[in-house]
Amino acid sequence: MNETLFIESTEFTPEIIFNLSQRKLLFKGVSRPEDVIKFYQPAIQWLKDLEQKIRTQADMRYSIPSLHVEFRMSYFNSASSKMLLEILQILRQIREMGVEILIDWYYDANDEAMYEDGMDLSDAVDIPFTYHPIPS
């Protein structure tokens, strides 16, 4: 797997930046891809590779004590929420191996639904999120 994954945003899809050396993952923008499974496949594969690496190489657990995940989504459709859950489920597997997973959920302060979407995902995956309303 590569150290970094960068997917540029489009009108219909979010920016995704994974940077292992900085221990940072970012999802930013809107998400209603034409083919949601295909769009998220590279991100899911990257995380699966990371999970396997941490599971099979003991020293990885010490070199990656924590991962910082930022969601800065302004909109995602219901099919995308299913893919975000799949991503979070891989992060939970990584968490179960001792890596601290810190999830920051940013949302427009006027957008109660986006806050609720965060809570739904957090509950579904059983990882606490930190919520950050952005004043608009």
Partner 1 sequence: MEKLTLGKNTLLSYQGQLNFEIIGHLLNSLKDETDARNIPLSHYKKILSVMIEILENVFKYNEFFEHASYLFPNHAPMFYIEQSDEGYLLVSGNPILNKDIEKLQKHIDHINALDKEGLRQLFRTTLTNGEFSSKGGAGLGFIEMAKVSGEKIVYSFTPIDETYSYYTCKIIISNKALSAE
| Contact range with partner 1 by CB under 8 A, out of 1-9, 43-51, 90-98, 115-123 | 115-123
Give the one residue of 22, 52, 113, 134 binding partner 1; rule: CB under 8 A: 113
Give the per-residue contact string, 11-50, with partner 1 (x = CB under 8 A; - = no).
xx-------------------x-xxxx-------------
Q: Does 123 bind partner 1 (CB under 8 A)?
A: yes
CA dihedral 36, 7, 67, 126 (to 10 degrees): -10
Distant-in-sequence, close-in-space partners of 109: CB < 8 Å, separation ≥ 6? 133, 134, 135, 136
